[in-house]
Amino acid sequence: MVKLNKIYTRTGDDGTTALVTGPRRLKHDLRVDAYGTIDETNSAIGVARLHTNALPDLDAMLLRVQNDLFDLGADLAAPDTGEPLSYEPLRIIEAQVDRLEKEIDQLNSELDPLKSFILPGGSPAAAYLHLARTTSRRAERVMVELSRIDGENVHEPCLKYVNRLSDFLFVAARYANDKGKADILWVPGKNR
């Protein structure tokens, strides 16, 4: 269990932060950007959950995702360098990806098929879930870029999870919009 007695350490005053495995990185380092963007996604989901009380099944799914995102951040903050560690680092596993896929299918089974792209919005929950979706897409872009750098390692289940996450959040937003009935459809060229 994590125990935080003191919130500030002053060790980051020089513009660096420590990875879980010990080395310090600049705060604008791509790995730090990756797990920071995962944290942003988690925060956006937290705001969305302020509006999902009437949807207890969806809210429970979102809570599971929030916990997974802490796992994902921990995974990214403990890169596999090949050096032996004195502990087993927390990693995203395939079972988490599989569960997310099942939850996508569960929510999607209650939605009418799309006939157009939809605009982000509708209910407050849906609007915030769309925000979380776009933030998760940014996290995915950063993670993919990081994974392409020599010497950097992003575990495959992390990339799968973040890819499924944006799909989950899209379906969750539609579900929060009265199961798609309150979706706002895009009308191509409407304002020409």
Q: How confident is the model at residue 16 (pLDDT cuts 50, 70, 90)?
A: low
- Rounded to an integer, the average pLDDT of 90-113 is 96
Class of domain 25-79+91-185: mainly alpha
pLDDT exceeding 70 applies to what percent of the chain?
A: 85
Please state the pTM of the whole predicted model. 0.88
Examine the pLDDT at 20 and tell me if it is beyond 70: no
Could you report the per-residue pLDDT of 33-46, keeping only the tens digit for each?
999 999 999 999 99
Q: Where are the domains of the chain?
A: 25-79+91-185
What are the contacts of 92-96 at 24+ separation with CB within 8 A?
92/68, 92/155, 92/157, 92/158, 92/161, 93/157, 94/157, 94/160, 96/68, 96/71, 96/157, 96/161
